[in-house]
Chains A and B, each alone.
Chain A
Amino acid sequence: MLRRLHSFAGLALALMLVAIAATGVGLSLKPAIDRLAAPAIAPGVSVAALTEAVAARHQRVDAIRVRGDGAVTVSFNDGAGKKVERVDPRTGAGLGAYQPSETFRWLADAHRSLLMGDAGRIAVALTALGLLVMSLTGTVLLARSLGGAGALLRPVRGAAARRWHGELGRLALAGLFLSSLTGAFLSAATFDLVPFAENSAPVVTASGGPAAPVGGLAGLAAVDVVDLERLTFPARNDATDVFTLRSSLGEALVDPSTGGVLSFAPTSTMDRIDRLAVALHTGRSSWPYALILGLSTAAAPVLGITGFLMWRRRRVAPRVRTHAVIDDADTTILVGSEGGSTWGFAQTLSRALTEEGHRVSLAAMNDIENAHLRAQRLVILAATYGDGDAPASARRFLDRLGNMERRIPVAVLGFGDRSFPNFCGYAQKIVAALDAQGWPRLIAPKRIDRRSAQEFAQWGRDLGAALGCTLALEHVAERPKTSAFELVGRETYGVAVGAPVAILRFAANALPRFEAGDLVGILAPGGDMPRFYSLASSQRDGVLEICVRLQPGGLCSTWLHGLNKGDNIEAFIRENPTFRPVEGRSPLILIGAGSGIAPLAGFIRANVAKRPVHLYFGGRLPSSDFLYEHELAERLAQRRLTTLRTAFSRNPFDAAYVQDRVAADAHRLRDLIRSEAQILVCGGREMARAVAETVETVVRPLGLDLATLKSNRRYLEDVY
């Protein structure tokens, strides 16, 4: 509901917002420009002194005002009509005619009413309210998707639109909240919806005596120019009229003859709120604040666009074909999906089961009913939203589960992202609930990391075994658009140790955008499932570089190893924002083995800023599979790589694994971790597990553990 409100208000607002934000950004420059034109008013000059200096230069003065833009102006009439000049607040000397900027006047008018009078003002007011709703609901949504209020500062992960929306929204949040809140308040004040702010001093008549020199009037001498807002002179032909002195303290009526304060009304609380709202909205008393507000406002259209993209992606609802009527089905598949990708897996499963002669019924988890449980088995595919919350199509599932009449054997498959602290948290909750309610297990629950088609296929084999059939789950997630790349260079390592690894470099006419650590999906001819390889290069390097270990019997790796220069491949890029060094100058500890060095070599190559980078590399034999040996030597000389530690398992003189080097360097690593080092690990699952255990023991004396490091994104893994 909250998300729908957020989306709906956002769409309706987007266009209005662009216009109002654009003018708002323009206006945010005004305080800085005004400040250049008129320096801040310094304390130490009384209103009486200023008035005396001004009055000495003019035949008739009507009023002295301190404007919103900081200018002190005097309206006077020396016989040639009424004029307004600006004056020096210290001396009262004339500085020429006061001419507010026409551009800013136009901008302000457009900002407040879209140049459409009251209709425009109402539209602007509603936009302000909408933006207020957006910033509040957005904060809650962001916190929720990151795993709770305490996690609000965690990095935002996901596709580009989502990342921009989250990161930018977080930065602009305070500014947008203040702008919209004060904007809505000012609109309300304009339409008299909040009580009138200014209270006036009770009307009195002056003593009627001869006017005294203004410089000597005690009532004016008591107020500093810093506090002045406006001073209205008494009408010349009315001896009973008084000076009206409005300052930040309140309104005083001052007798022009005696200088006494005849009546006074202090500034009301409402008036103070009103002034605060104006100050916070316009930023006129602090130009740096105004500029920050302007920057936040500039983010609003970007948030609109990225928000729209996210909304559209969610709306592309999967079309579900029911493969069998519920009554007839032997297998029910229930889907808990957030963005729709889990539906794709469900359909692959459903197709495969149908091919094996099963009758499948497919439904959203929210729609579970007793009829579904007349089948012989239940399969639940569940994604996770945020920190273990239910995804969109499963919100009501747990509430309904307990009311079901039958308990049939169930298999649960969770989809998630291993780099989140609570991996597949929602699927775990379901498993716990099912166990507690005594549902029999069809097969053990399993978790799929980042939509891995390989893991899904493996689970399919397990499910097939339980059903007594062969389930081949060839899942192609919405087959991506590929482009052609040409092999331009290759080096082969590791042949002597029986583990050939090829470094392959591809070129294309126009390389897509990618960074080291992103993934390239490659489709081998005849293969339906793309294989993913970590990229060792970024777009800047002009080539697409990967390390491919020859897998015995592997379709894709065998094909890649057989390629000759000039051959073409079909491939696509998949961003991998969860495996990237943090920005900044904190040290990096890179740990990789075999072809897992690819992204790490790429990070080192990109380290032109020469931040401290320490690499641990594991291979089999230095003479055979020391990948990137020459390049790493060069990077050490360039200081893009600070230290290099290698371990070779078949080295006859010093056989060791990479985790042995990590353990031996425990002391040094603790120092690095104390100075905020980030650890990035890439390689096979066995090696990653061994490294994780070693690092766990290394950091324990620091009072840290792996889970903490992982949740702070200081321990990242890219494991295959």
Chain B
Amino acid sequence: MKLALPLLAATAAFVAPTIAEARQVTFETTLKAYGGNGAYVALYLLDGAGKYKGTLWMAGDKTKFYRHLSDWTRASGGRLAEVDGITGASVGSGKTLKITVDIADALIDAGYKVHVDTSVEDGADNPSEVVAPLVASASGKPVAGDGYVKSFKATF
């Protein structure tokens, strides 16, 4: 799956006042071939103290399943406004979710971490199965999740 988000789609938290102060970051989340219904995947940002900064993307459109993304629910308060306009289809077994977001320079290399929660119906819930620091030096380096995520990488 490939998604190029328009600038406005990302929430204000990440968008700098002008494009010059922001960078395009591409997040690629590749799932294992677990064989099952499409996975709900939430990508969101916490600061160094574990405080919720905002949601990057919510894959999966049936809100009644969001509670299975339990860390995202806890961090964001489960408010649907948090994912308004940044929601897409769930991610199939073995497929890749690729999103591109303009992120303010101030958030990069500043202790923020990208969390990935996943959940599959009749399968497992994997809160924060990926926790990756938002640092430019990690660009293009894949990390593995401990649930459905085979690899996750951010490219700056």
Chains A and B belong together in one complex: yes
Q: Which residues of A contact B125 (CB under 8 A)?
A: 62-63, 75, 232
- Whether B126 pairs with A203 at a CB distance below 8 angstroms is no
A67's partner among B36, B50, B67, B122 (CB-CB below 8 A) is: B122
Shortest distance from the beta carbon of B48 to any chain A beta carbon, whole Å: 14
Report A112-150 CB contacts with B as 1/0, cut-off 8 Å.
000001100000000000000000000000000000000
> How far apart are B71's CB and chain A's nearest CB, in angstroms?
8
Q: Does A190 sit within 8 A of B, measured CB to CB?
A: yes
The residue of chain A having its C-beta at the shortest distance from the C-beta of B68 within the complex is A230
Stretch at the interface among A192-200, A435-443, A707-715: A192-200
Question: B129 to A189, Cβ gap below 8 A?
Answer: no
A212 to chain B, nearest CB (A): 22
Chain B window 98-132, contacts with chain A (Cβ cutoff 8 Å), 1 for yes, 0 for no: 00000000000000000000000011111111000
Say yes or no: is B51 at the interface (Cβ < 8 Å to chain A). no
Q: Are B122 and A244 in contact (CB under 8 A)?
A: no
Contact between B124 and A82, CB atoms less than 8 A apart: yes
Q: Which residues in chain B, 26-80, are within 8 Å of chain A measured between CB atoms?
A: 35-37, 50, 61-64, 67, 70-71, 73-74, 78
Interface residue count on the A side (C-beta < 8 Å): 27
Whether, in the assembled complex, A408 has its beta carbon less than 8 Å from a beta carbon of chain B, the answer is: no
- Nearest to A194 among chain B residues (CB) is B64
Interface residues on B, range: 20 to 34
A100 partner residues in chain B, CB cutoff 8 A: 36, 122-123
Of the residues A77, A102, A117, A203, contact of B35 by C-beta under 8 Å: A102
Pair A244/B70 contact, Cβ less than 8 Å:
yes
Is A570 interfacial (CB 8 A cutoff)?
Answer: no
Min CB distance, A31 to chain B, in Å? Answer: 15
Q: Mark A160-204, 1 if CB is under 8 A from B, else 0.
A: 000000000000000000000000000001101000111010010
Once the chains are docked, how many angstroms separate the CA of A203 from the CA of B75? 10
A82-B146, A190-B62, A192-B64 known; A203+B124 contact, CB < 8 A: no
Interface string of A79-115 (1 = CB under 8 A from B): 0011010000000000000001010010001000000
Instruction: Tell me which residues across on chain A come within 8 A of B63, comparing CB atoms.
Output: 192, 196
Q: Residues of A contacting B142 with CB < 8 Å?
A: none
Decide if A444 is an interface residue (CB 8 Å cutoff): no
A57-84 residues at the B interface, CB under 8 angstroms: 62-63, 67-68, 75, 77, 81-82, 84
Residue pair B64, A196 in contact (C-beta under 8 Å): yes
Set of chain A residues within 8 Å of B147, measured between Cβ atoms: 82
Q: Is A105 touching B128 in the complex (CB atoms < 8 A)?
A: no
B122 CB contacts on chain A under 8 angstroms: 67-68, 100, 105
From known contacts A67-B122, A81-B146, A82-B124, infer whether A232 and B64 are also in contact, taking CB-CB under 8 Å. no
| Residues of chain A contacted by B74 (CB below 8 angstroms) | 203
CB B135 to nearest CB in A, in angstroms, measures 20
CB-contact partner of A105 in B37, B78, B146, under 8 A: B37
Q: Which of B89, B124, B128 contacts A235 (CB 8 A)?
A: B128
- Measured between C-beta atoms, what is the minimum distance from B121 to chain A in Å? 9
What is the bound-complex CA distance between A389 and B50, given in angstroms?
75
Question: Whole-angstrom distance from the CB of A84 to the nearest CB of chain B?
Answer: 5
* Chain A residue with the shortest CB-CB distance to B90: A117
Which residues in A have their C-beta under 8 angstroms from that of B67?
A: 198, 200
Q: How far is the CB of B13 from chain A (nearest CB, A)?
A: 21
Chain A 289-300 interface 0/1 with B at a Cβ cutoff of 8 Å (1 = within): 000000000000
User: Is A190 a contact partner of B64 (Cβ separation < 8 A)?
Assistant: yes
Task: Give bound CA distance, A190 to B62, whole Å.
Answer: 6
Partner of B146, one of A77, A118, A238: A77
CB distance from A23 to the nearest CB of B (A): 15
Chain B nearest Cβ from A59, distance in angstroms: 12
Q: Is the CB of B64 within 8 A of A189?
A: yes
Measured CB to CB, the closest approach of chain B to A438, in angstroms, equals: 69
Query: With A232-B70, A244-B70 as given contacts, are A82 and B126 in contact (CB-CB < 8 Å)?
Result: yes
- Please name all residues of chain B whose beta carbon is closer than 8 Å to the beta carbon of A68 when the two chains form the complex: 122
* Cα separation A67 to B122 with both chains bound (whole Å): 8
Q: How far is the CB of B1 from chain A (nearest CB, A)?
A: 14
Chain A residues near B123 (CB, 8 Å)? 84, 100
The complex places the Cα of A351 from the Cα of B5 at a distance, in Å, of: 78
Task: Give chain B nearest CB distance to A71 CB in angstroms.
Answer: 10
A58: min CB distance to chain B, Å: 14
Q: Chain B contacts of A200 at CB under 8 A? A: 67, 73, 78
- Whether B36 and A105, one on each chain, are in contact in the complex, defined by CB atoms closer than 8 angstroms, is yes
Q: Which residues in window 131-153 of B have CB below 8 A to A?
A: 146-147
Q: How far is the CB of A493 from chain B (nearest CB, A)?
A: 75
A490 to chain B, nearest CB (A): 72
| Nearest neighbor of B62 in chain A, beta-carbon distance | A190
Nearest A residue to B145, CB-CB: A82
Q: Fill in one digit per residue for A616-652: 1 if any B CB lies within 8 Å of its CB, else 0.
A: 0000000000000000000000000000000000000
> For B36, what are the chain A residues with a Cβ–Cβ distance below 8 Å?
100, 105
Give Cα A200–Cα B79 distance, bound, in whole angstroms: 13
The minimal Cβ–Cβ distance linking B49 to chain A, given in whole angstroms, is: 12
Q: Interface digits, B3-28 against A, CB 8 Å rule (1 contact, 0 not)?
A: 00000000000000000000000000
CA distance A68 to B61 in the complex (A): 22
Distance in angstroms from B70 CB to nearest chain A CB is: 6
Nearest CB in chain B to that of A274: its residue: B64
Measured CB to CB, the closest approach of chain B to A369, in angstroms, equals: 59
Residue of chain B at shortest CB distance from A84: B124
Chain A nearest CB, measured from B151 CB (Å): 13
Q: How far is the CA of A63 from the CA of B127 in the complex (A)?
A: 11
Q: What separation, in Å, do the CA atoms of A698 and B117 have in the docked complex?
A: 82
CA distance A539 to B62 in the complex (A): 59
Q: Complex: how many Å from CA A75 to CA B71? A: 16
Q: How far is the CB of A282 from chain B (nearest CB, A)?
A: 12
- Give the chain B neighbours of A190 by CB distance below 8 A: 62, 64
Minimum C-beta distance from B76 to chain A (A): 12
**How distant is A83 from chain B, measured CB to nearest CB, in Å?**
9
Minimum CB–CB distance from A238 to chain B (whole Å) comes to 8
B51 to chain A, nearest CB (A): 13
What CA separation (Å) do A203 and B74 show in the bound complex? 8
Bound state CA distance, A225 and B123, in angstroms? 20
Contacts of A63 in B (CB 8 A): 124-125
Question: Of all chain A residues, which has the CB nearest B126?
Answer: A82
- Chain A residues with CB under 8 Å of B78's CB are 200
Q: Nearest CB to that of B125 among chain A residues?
A: A63
Given A81-B146, A232-B70, does the pair A109, B124 have CB atoms closer than 8 Å? no
* Residues 577-598 (chain A) with a chain B CB within 8 angstroms: none
B50 cross-chain contacts in A, Cβ below 8 A: 238
Chain B residue, CB-CB nearest to A83: B124
Q: Is the CB of A75 within 8 A of B124?
A: yes
Question: Cα distance A189–B64 when bound, in Å?
Answer: 8
Tell me the bound Cα distance from A82 to B146 in angstroms.
Answer: 5
How far is A508 from B2 in the complex, measured between Cα atoms in Å? 71
**Which residues does chain B contribute within 8 Å of A197, judged by CB atoms?**
64
Q: Which residues of A contact B35 (CB under 8 A)?
A: 102
Q: Name the CB-closest residue of A to B61.
A: A118
Quote the shortest CB–CB distance from A67 to chain B (angstroms): 7
In the assembled complex, 25 residue pairs joining A and B whose CB atoms fall closer than 8 Å, in A order, are A62-B126, A67-B122, A68-B122, A75-B124, A77-B146, A81-B146, A82-B124, A82-B126, A82-B146, A84-B123, A100-B36, A102-B35, A105-B36, A109-B37, A118-B61, A192-B63, A196-B64, A197-B64, A198-B67, A200-B67, A200-B73, A200-B78, A235-B71, A235-B127, A235-B128
- Known A67-B122, A77-B146; further 6 A-B contacts with Cβ < 8 A: A84-B123, A105-B37, A109-B37, A190-B64, A196-B64, A238-B50
Hey, which bits of chain A sit against chain B, CB under 8 A? 62-63, 67-68, 75, 77, 81-82, 84, 100, 102, 105, 109, 117-118, 189-190, 192, 196-198, 200, 203, 232, 235, 238, 244
Q: Which 9 A-B residue pairings sit nearest by Cβ, starting from the closest?
A: A75-B124, A82-B146, A100-B122, A82-B147, A84-B124, A81-B146, A77-B146, A190-B62, A192-B63
